[in-house]
């Protein structure tokens, strides 16, 4: 069984996330998503709208996703790859090159981001719509 892992906040789920997850699943048979815990989001300077538990439940409902685990630190990736016998680590290319150290442990793939959508854009657009 070929196992793929990807990491992210996945807040206010949108087509950029779905496109990433769908393509990630095409690289193997089993996709693990490590979702940023609320404490880790704070380290990333992010405040998610949905809690970790809510974001976990939403991701678990997606047909491409086989398992959801928490992401607590930047440093856990090597341990995760070993513990879960990961074959492919995959991220959007806004992270291009940032995780190449994982090439010693698994295949590392960066895929083009979906243009024109982001959680930040959703929040901005909604604020504009509500505040005129
Ligand atoms: N993404 C995408 N297209 C978009 C928006 C996001 O392909 N329009 C991808 C990102 O490249 C990432 C994934 O969707 O691979 C999740 O994006 P975020 O939830 O923004 O995650 P991020 O804050 O980048 O966290 O340790 C890694 C970090 O946890 C990644």
From CA 35, how far away is CA 54, in angstroms rounded? 11
Ligand 1, residues at Cβ distance < 6 Å: 7-10, 16-17, 20, 36, 44, 71, 91-92, 94, 113-114, 117-118
Q: Where are the alpha helices (DSSP H) in the chain?
A: 15-25, 38-43, 52-60, 77-83, 119-131
Mean pLDDT, range 38-56, rounded to an integer:
97
Averaged confidence pLDDT in the chain: 97
Mean pLDDT, range 63-68, rounded to an integer:
98
* Whether pLDDT at 132 is above 90: no
> How many whole angstroms from 1 Cα to the centroid of ligand 1?
25
Q: How many other β-carbons are positioned within 10 Å of the β-carbon of residue 101?
A: 10
Whether residue 44 lies in the annotated active site: yes
Which pLDDT value is given to residue 81? 98
**DSSP string over 73-84:** -GGGHHHHHHHT
> How many whole angstroms from 93 Cα to the centroid of ligand 1?
9
Whether residue 47 lies in the annotated active site: no
Q: Whose CA is nearest to atom 28 of ligand 1?
A: 8
Per the confidence metrics, is the pTM higher than 0.85? yes
Which pLDDT value is given to residue 6? 99
């Amino acid at each position: 069984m070929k196992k793929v892992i990807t990491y992210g906040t996945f807040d206010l789920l949108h087509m950029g996330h779905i496109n990433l997850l769908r393509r990630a699943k095409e690289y193997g048979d089993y996709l693990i998503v490590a979702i940023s815990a609320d404490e880790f989001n704070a380290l990333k300077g992010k405040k998610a709208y949905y809690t970790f538990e809510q974001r976990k439940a939403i991701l678990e409902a997606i047909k491409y996703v086989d398992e959801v685990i928490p992401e607590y630190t930047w440093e856990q990736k090597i341990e995760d790859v070993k513990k879960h016998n990961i074959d492919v680590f995959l991220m959007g290319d806004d992270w291009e090159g940032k995780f190449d150290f994982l090439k010693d442990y698994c295949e590392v793939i960066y895929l083009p981001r979906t243009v024109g959508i982001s959680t930040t854009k959703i929040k901005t657009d909604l604020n504009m719509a509500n505040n005129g």
